[in-house]
Amino acid sequence: MKNSLKLVLAVVLCVFLAGVAGFADEYILGIGFTIFMYIALAQSWVVLSGLTGYISLGHVVFFGSGAYVFILIWGLVPVWLGVFCSGIVVGLVSLIVGYPVLRVRGPYFVILSFGLAELVKNLVLINEARMYVSMRPVFGAPALYQLYTAMLLLAIIATGLTYWIRRSRFGAGLRSIREDEEAAETIGVPVAKLKLLAFAISGVIPAMVGAIFIMRSGIFQSGDAFTPIVSFTMVTMAIIGGSDDAPGPFLGVVFLVLLQELLWVNWPEVYMIILGILLLGFVLFIPNGIYGWLSEKYFGNKKNVT
Amino acid sequence: MDSLLSPQLLAAAMITGVLYALISLGLNLVYGTMRLLNVAHGDLVMIGAYVAFIAFSLLNIGPLVSMFGAALICGFLGWLSYKCVFQRLLSNGQLLSRLEENSLLLFFALSVIIQNLAILFFSADRRGYEYLSAIVEIGDVRLTGARLTVLIVGAVISAAVVFFLRFSLFGLAMNALIQNRDASAIVGINVDRVQMSSLIFGFGITGLAGALISMMEPISPVMGFPYTMSAFVIIILGGLGNLWGGFLAGLLLGVLEVYGVALTGPEWRSVLVYGIFVLILIFRPQGLLGSGKTAR
Amino acid sequence: MLLEINDIHKKFGGLVALQGINFSVGYGETLGLMGANGAGKTTLFSLIAGHQEPTLGSIIFEGQKINRMRPDQISALGIARTYQIVRPFRGLSVLENVTTGALYGAHKIRSIKNASKFSREILEDVELKDRAEDLAGSLTLAGFKRLELAKALATGPKIILLDEVMAGLTPREVNEAISIIETCKRKYNLTVVVIEHVMKALMRMCERIVVLHHGEMIAEGTPGQISEDSVVIKAYLGEQN
């Protein structure tokens, strides 16, 4: 397909999806909201874990922190500025935290990401307990169609960002880090800088997603905001779809959210089990994901393993 | 609050330490022989605990008997996961190139499957049962019978496991595999079988530890995660794949945790474990006892 | 002088890997590093390329001290190295491997398009053009060695450190490799430092050879001088002459 044609199609799709907000019912908007949320999350995950190879199993930490920052400044600043601020704050903090964290490589990083998310969650829990708060309701949040549109915007930005990074000089550097960090440094890739940047970029959008999400759920509870389920879903969606390029997570998310829609309300456990089995199967048998598999099969492109 | 030097606290530290040592030994075996990082490890503790709970409340079998059942069941799960998942992982060149990362993803998936199956079967409620709850006094130390039993049985089992690994043919083969996989195959060790056995054995002793834990603490489908974290802290402290180092580190973490909680407060327990975990990974990923090369 | 090695020492714990190494490399020169396994040749490359820091001494590149710089900074100055045990980006295509070098390194070509164009040219030079779109992991050993060279060339170096790029190749492949290196040297105006076990190749390519033995420099001279140096012969070949 020609690039210009692709672009036109993408724009038409986005305009259509945005237009839907005007007349669709709550149910459709709700599904759309969830799909966009996970697209934004999975695309962000891909920037760090898919391209750079630093697999994060604790990406919910950005989501939860964004939500927490947002709830702390709720009412003090205009809503959308608050969302923006939570993204910026989390991005800045991750630039600081990322420095020591990203020195930890390979499998150590993976388990570190896991533990770090739990550490932050417990710190927030303690902090909340000290202030004698167990949950914080969000009153007067914008209407669903507004949240829907905002989430759509984040999904578009996240997808565009991943798409662009994957094809940029920056992305080439990240992918070389994934393949062999020391060899990358040898040919001049400033690995520490690029990793840190990827880490922060990978955190900003999930933080804003977290902020918007609690407006939808109407409540902030630290246990829920930092639930490992979000990390798990993000990882699974990206891997099932294919984590080396932007179309991958897109495919994974649409597939899984529809499954979730069928199962989540009545059988959440069954949904999680199916998710687990899918992740097992894809890692073992289709490690390049749906997109990698499709492009290898039909376009003869060689894609790579995460 | 107890004085920090009280034997009471020391006993508590010993109990936690022994359990940690036992649990982390299982994790270490699986990592050492196959380079698999099992983030579902704590879920085996949970399974062991539920086996003991069911045996006690439905069949009226005490945990000291059912712990062997728990070991068998978890061992069986080890066999099953080896046959269904890890044999393929370990024999596929493409997957092997990022073995540790892939194993993390796979175990992550298994963890979610196990936890949600447990919620489906047992509901998410916390449960517990009364067993040997009478207080026993030894000198100044006051313990429930259950905790005393856990201490003694845990210590005996740990010692037995260590001796077994040190002196049995299986233990030697396993050690050989940890030291050098390729050379092991050359000297005629059936690598595939030893790998499978270490998964069975590692899962088994963890399930057993879970049964012991159920005597003292309430159990729930999500109880495993903190144990996963602690076990990782321990094997990293002790040096990955280093069984003795891990054993010592288990005792050490038990002491750190009990004394740390005594100094700060019970709500800080998780923060303490995860905090140590994060700091260790950032500053000494090669372990306290190891001296291998660092990630730069 | 382009590169000066001044009184370099390197210790790993109690083990002395290099001591008192002194030599320099002039613009456009081809210098050979010779020595048995464990003599410290690769360690010396790691020090120059910034992967390790010398315990003592200084490394000067175009008048600038580079001891404490990071590998990527050193690469940006125009020093490229290859690895004895090849390190291709296996999951990327051959072209992507080389393009990454062109995008970073000393060239820092900003646009992907120009970088790929330049990289294709280099792939032609090292005779890997036909494999440009293939996954790097699918190459043969000779292919890997050429890819190492291509990645290094793409960074736009002034000096290139070649670590046994001919080890394990057949005699025919060795000849091809020598001619590739010589062509590239002329075309890109390079200075070359080469570690090689294939003696004939070293003798043929180099204008000057430095011999390391157990971390010490035991000789320096033209190939002719080295092949007749009694200390070298004793260290290298034993007492048989």
Judge whether residue B97 has pLDDT over 80.
no
User: What residues of chain C have any CB closer than 8 angstroms to a CB in chain A?
Assistant: 49, 51, 70-73, 75-76, 80-81, 83, 87-93, 96-97, 99-101, 103-106, 108, 110-112, 115, 133-135, 151-152, 154-155
In which order are the strands placed within the sheet that holds C79-81?
A: C79-81, C159-163, C191-195, C30-34, C208-213, C216-221
Mutation target to probe the A interface, by most A beta carbons within 10 A, among B101, B106, B225, B296 is B101
What is the β-pairing status of strands C191-195 and C30-34?
Answer: parallel
A vs B, Cβ pairs < 8 A, gives 132
* B141's tokens: 């130390």
**pLDDT of amino acid B1:** 47
**pLDDT of amino acid B213:** 93
Judge whether residue B145 has pLDDT over 80.
yes
Closest-CA residue to B127 (of B61, B46, B208): B46
Q: Is the distance from CB of B35 to CB of B198 less than 8 angstroms?
A: no
**pLDDT of amino acid B3:** 62
Q: How many domains does chain C have?
A: 1
Tens of pLDDT, residue by residue over A45-99, are 999 999 999 999 899 999 999 999 999 999 899 999 999 999 999 999 999 999 9
Backbone angles phi, psi at B132, to 5 degrees: 45, 50
A235 CB within 8 Å of a chain B CB: yes
Closest-CA residue to A85 (of A178, A207, A193, A180): A207
Range of the structural domain that residue A136 is part of: 26-228
**pLDDT of amino acid A301:** 53
What is the β-pairing status of strands C79-81 and B141-144?
Answer: unpaired
Residues 41-80 on A with a CB inside 8 Å of B are 53, 55, 57
Backbone angles phi, psi at C56, to 5 degrees: -145, 155
Q: How many domains does chain A have?
A: 1
**Residue C146 half-sphere exposure, CB side, CA atoms within 13 Å?**
29
* B28's tokens: 């270490």
Rounded Cα distance between B293 and B239, Å, is 12
Q: Do A115 and B106 touch (CB under 8 A)?
A: no
Q: Which of A169, A183, A304 sits opposite C87 (nearest CB)?
A: A183
Give the torsion sign (CA, A10, A14, A17, A22).
negative
Q: Is A81 a member of any domain?
A: yes
**pLDDT of amino acid B98:** 77
Q: Is the distance from CB of A183 to CB of C87 less than 8 angstroms?
A: yes
Q: Is C208 left (phi over 0), alpha (psi -120 to 50) or beta?
A: beta
Residue A188 per-residue DSSP state: T
Q: Is the distance from CB of C202 to CB of C223 less than 8 angstroms?
A: yes
Tens of pLDDT, residue by residue over A177-188, are 999 999 999 999
Q: Is A253 a member of any domain?
A: no
Q: Is the distance from CB of C160 to CB of C152 less than 8 angstroms?
A: yes
**pLDDT of amino acid A303:** 43
Position B292 confidence tier, pLDDT thresholds 50, 70, 90:
very low
* B93's tokens: 């060149």
Tens of pLDDT, residue by residue over B24-37, are 999 988 988 888 88
DSSP string, B39-107: TTHHHHHHHHHHHHHHHHHHH---HHHHHHHHHHHHHHHHHHHIIIIIHHHHH-HHHHTTHHHHHHHHH
pLDDT tens for chain C, 241 residues: list them.
899 999 999 998 888 999 999 999 999 999 999 888 888 899 999 999 999 999 999 999 999 999 999 999 999 999 999 999 999 999 899 999 999 999 999 988 989 999 999 999 999 999 999 999 999 989 999 999 999 999 999 999 999 999 998 888 898 999 999 999 999 999 999 999 999 887 788 888 999 999 999 899 999 999 989 888 888 888 776 655 4
Burial of B182: CB neighbours in 10 Å, binned 0-12, 13-18, 19+: exposed
Rounded Cα distance between B229 and B276, Å, is 10
Closest-CA residue to A195 (of A273, A266, A122, A101): A101
Pinpoint the alpha helices (H) of C32-170.
Answer: 41-49, 71-77, 94-103, 112-125, 141-154
Contacts of A135 (CB under 8 A, 6+ apart): A219, A220, A221
Q: Is A14 a member of any domain?
A: no
CATH of the domain at C73: 3.40.50.300
Q: Is A99 a member of any domain?
A: yes
Contacts with A180 from chain C: Cβ below 8 Å: 87-89
Tens of pLDDT, residue by residue over B206-223, are 999 999 999 998 999 989
pLDDT along chain A (306 residues), means of 10: 77 83 85 93 94 92 96 92 96 94 87 89 90 83 92 95 95 95 95 96 97 94 88 88 84 84 81 90 88 78 44
Nearest chain A residue to C151 by CA: give it. Answer: A187
Contacts with A295 from chain C: Cβ below 8 Å: none
**pLDDT of amino acid C96:** 96
Contacts with B267 from chain A: Cβ below 8 Å: 125-126, 129
Range of the structural domain that residue C41 is part of: 3-237
* B260's tokens: 């740390």
